[in-house]
Amino acid sequence: MAACVSRVELSVSCRSLLDRDLGSRSDPLCVLLEDAGGGRWAELDRTEKIKNCQDPEFCKKLVVDYYFEKVQKLKFSVYDIDNKSFDLNDDDYLGGIECTLGQVVSSSVFTRPLELKQGKPAGKGTITISAEEIKDTRVVYLEIEAQNLDKKDFLGKSDPFLEFYKQSDAGTWQLVYRSEVIKNNLNPCWRRFGVPLQTFCGGDFNKPVKVQCADHDSDGSHDLIGTLEMTLAQVQTAGPGSVVEFECIHSEKKKKKNYKNSGIIRIKSCKIETEYSFLDYVMGGCQINFTVGVDFTASNGDPNSPDSLHYISPDGINEYLIAIWSVGSVIQDYDTDKLFPAFGFGAQVPPSWQVSHEFALNFNPNNPYCQGIQGIVDAYRQILPQIRLYGPTNFSPIINHVARFAAHSLQQGAATQYFILLIITDGEITDLNQTRQAIVNASKLPMSIIIVGVGEADFKAMEFLDGDNGVLKSVTGEPAARDIVQFVPFRKFKNAPREALSQMVLAEVPKQLVSYYKWQGWPPLKGPEIKAM
C-alpha cells in the first residue's frame, strides 16, 4: 500500500470561458479526474456551479492525495451546467486540460489555455490552479447573522450573501467561502458552515479575513452592501450570550457626511473542531470487514455453457472472479485476520434443494469464513457444480445479514469496525422494495455496499439504489441517513487494468466511513499524534 505523503488543496479559477447559453452567460463547474488506466478517468472531486459567469473563481477547493512516488495524471474539465443531474454527459463542455499533480505542486501558480480537444483551443479560455498542502486538520465552524442591511433592490429588499477572503502571502485576497443567498431580507441569518482552518486563514488566528456582504442579482452583477475585516482571534470567543459584532462599511458611502454603516454583521458562534481522515481511523485501529454476496440466479445462464456469466474460461476466470479479486485485493490490506464471509443467493442448494438467499459458499453456515481472497475464489469454484441456479434475485437477506453484524459492533460505541458488502449480480433484482428498506436501515450503521453488475443487462434498478441522482428513500418515504451504495457496471472495465475497477468501486468508501463516524461523533481509537508546541 503506497503511503500518502500529504493532501493538497487545489484552488481553481478560469478566465474568458466560452459562452454556451442563449440570452445569458455560462454556468460553469470544474471537475477533477485522475487517470485510472486503460483510457479511463475516475472523478476525484468537483467544484460548485457558479451562475452566469465567464471568469469564475471557484470557492470549493479540490482535495487530492499527493503521492511523491507516483505520476498522478490529472484532468481538469469545465462544464456549463444546465440541469440538476449529477451526470455531466448532458452538459456543454467548455474545455479542459491534462497535467500531472507534480506540475501543479511545483508551480506557485499554474495557468494553461483550455482545450476542447488536443490542439483545439476553447476560445481564449484559461484555467489557473494553485496548490496548498493541508497541514492542519482543524475546521472552523461559524454561525453568522446580519441586522439592518442596506436595501439595494428597487422593488424589494436585498438578497444578501457573504464572501470570505483570506490574505495570501503576496497580499492578494483569495476567496475561501461563499454563503447561500437569503432572499428579500435585511436581517438574514445564514446557515452554519465549516471551512478548514488552513483554507480559512492559513491556520494563523491573527491573519486578517475580509468579509464582503453583497446583494445577489441573477445576472451576476451583484451589488456590494459593505465589507469588514476580522481575525479568528477576535471571533473565537463567540457563542451563546457572547455575540461578536462588526460594522459593515461601504467604502464609497463612507465619504458621505452622515453615513454610519450599511448594517451590522454578528458572529453568533465560532467553534474549532478537528476533522479526522480515513487514514486516521484505519491507523487508529479501525478494522474493515469484507463480505461477498454472489448472484447464482438462473438468468446468469448454465455455468457449463460458454455463454454463461458463471462459465469459467480455460484461463480460470470469469467476470465474477475478476470482481472478487480486484475489489478484495485492495480491501484485504485493511483486515488483520484475512477471514472473509462469502455467501451466495438465488440458488437451490443441497441436500433439500430449497432456494436460499444467503447460503455460505463453503457450505458451512456456522463458519462461512474463507481464508483470504484466494479462499473465496476456491469456495466459489468448488460450489458451482454442486448447486442449481434458480431465483428470484433477492438482495435484502444478505444486506440484512451484514447489517446485523454492523449493528452488533455499534454496541462498542467506538470506531472499531466498518463493514463492506460486495454484491456481484447480473442485475435482475426482484425484491426492490425490501432492498430499499434494507439500505435505508443500513445507512444508520457502519457499513457500505458495493454492487458490481456483470453481463449486458439493464441496470436501471442498480443505478436507482446508488442514489447519485437524489437521496434513496424506502417505500414509506424514509430517506437514507447517508449515501452508502456504489454501483459500477463491469462492462465499462472489461478492457481496463484490474486496478481500474477497484479504484472506481472503492472511491466512495473512505468518505462513507469518515462521514459515518463524524455523524456519530466518534474520533479514531488512537488519535493522530499532535506535537506539543
Instruction: State whether 202 and 347 are in the same domain.
Output: no
Task: List, in sequence order, every residue forming a beta bridge with 452; answer none if it has no partner.
Answer: 424, 488
187 pLDDT above the threshold of 70: yes
Q: Does residue 326 sit within a domain?
A: yes
With respect to residue 284, please indicate whether it lies within any of the assigned structural domains: no
**1 domain residue, yes or no:** no
pLDDT at 533: 24
**Residue 100 and residue 173 in one domain:** no
Q: What whole-number distance in Å separates Cα of residue 533 and Cα of residue 531?
A: 6
Quick one: DSSP state of residue 358? S
Residue 511's φ and ψ, nearest 5 degrees, are: -65, -40
**Predicted confidence band at 103 (pLDDT cuts at 50, 70, 90)?**
confident
Range of the structural domain that residue 437 is part of: 290-520
Question: What average pLDDT score do residues 525-533 get?
Answer: 46
Give the three cell numbers for residue 308: 454463461
Instruction: Assess whether 111 and 254 both reside in one domain.
Output: no
Choosing from 74, 104, 134, the residue where a domain stops is 134
Task: Please indicate, yes or no, whether residues 236 and 87 belong to a single structural domain of this protein.
Answer: no
Flag whether pLDDT at 4 surpasses 70: no
Total domains present in the chain: 3
Q: How many CA atoms lie within 13 A of 530 on its CB side?
A: 8
- pLDDT-wise least confident of 142-151, 384-393, 423-432: 423-432
Mean pLDDT, range 67-76, rounded to an integer = 80
Residue 293 to residue 304: CA distance in whole angstroms = 21
The verdict on 108 and 156 lying in the same domain is: no
The more confident residue out of 463 and 371 is 371
Domain match, 244 and 333 both: no
Q: Which residue has the cell 492578494?
A: 172
Q: Is residue 423 part of a domain?
A: yes
For the stretch 193-237, pLDDT in tens is 999 998 999 889 999 999 999 999 988 889 999 999 999 999 999
Are 241 and 157 part of one and the same domain?
A: yes
For position 218, which CATH number holds? 2.60.40.150
Residue 532 has pLDDT above 50, yes or no: no
Do the domain assignments include residue 345?
A: yes
Q: What's residue 1's pLDDT?
A: 35
Per mean pLDDT, which range of 54-58, 246-250, 506-510, 519-523 is the poorest?
A: 506-510
Domain shared by 145 and 255, yes or no? yes
- For residue 401, being part of any structural domain is answered with yes
101/143 same-domain check: no
Residue 510: CATH number of its domain = 3.40.50.410
Picking from 134, 166, 183, the residue at the C-terminal end of a domain is: 134
The 10s digit of each residue's pLDDT in 121-162 is: 999 999 999 988 777 788 999 999 999 999 886 667 899 999
**Cα–Cα distance list, 31 to 40, 60, 411 (Å):** 15, 11, 40
Same domain, yes or no: 40 and 83:
yes
Map 390-436 to HEC letters: ECCCCCHHHHHHHHHHHHHHHCCCCCCEEEEEEEEECCCCCCHHHHH
**Upstream peptide bond of 489 is cis (omega within 30 degrees of 0):** no
280 in a domain, yes or no? Answer: no
Q: Are 442 and 406 in contact (CB under 8 A)?
A: yes
- Mean pLDDT across the stretch 357-366? 94
Among residues 244, 274, 304, the one where a domain terminates is: 274
Beta strand pairing status for 28-37 and 40-46?
Answer: antiparallel
Smallest CA-to-CA distance from 392 within 292, 296, 293, 489 is with: 296
Same domain? For 117 and 145 the reply is: no
Query: At 184, which amino acid appears?
Result: N
Tell me the Ramachandran region of residue 477: left when phi exceeds 0, alpha when psi lies from -120 to 50, beta otherwise.
Answer: left
Any domain includes 60: yes
Q: Average pLDDT in the 255-265 region? A: 92
The strand order across the sheet containing 388-389 reads: 354-356, 347-349, 388-389
What is the pLDDT of the chain when averaged over all its residues? 89
Residues 361, 380, single domain; the answer is: yes
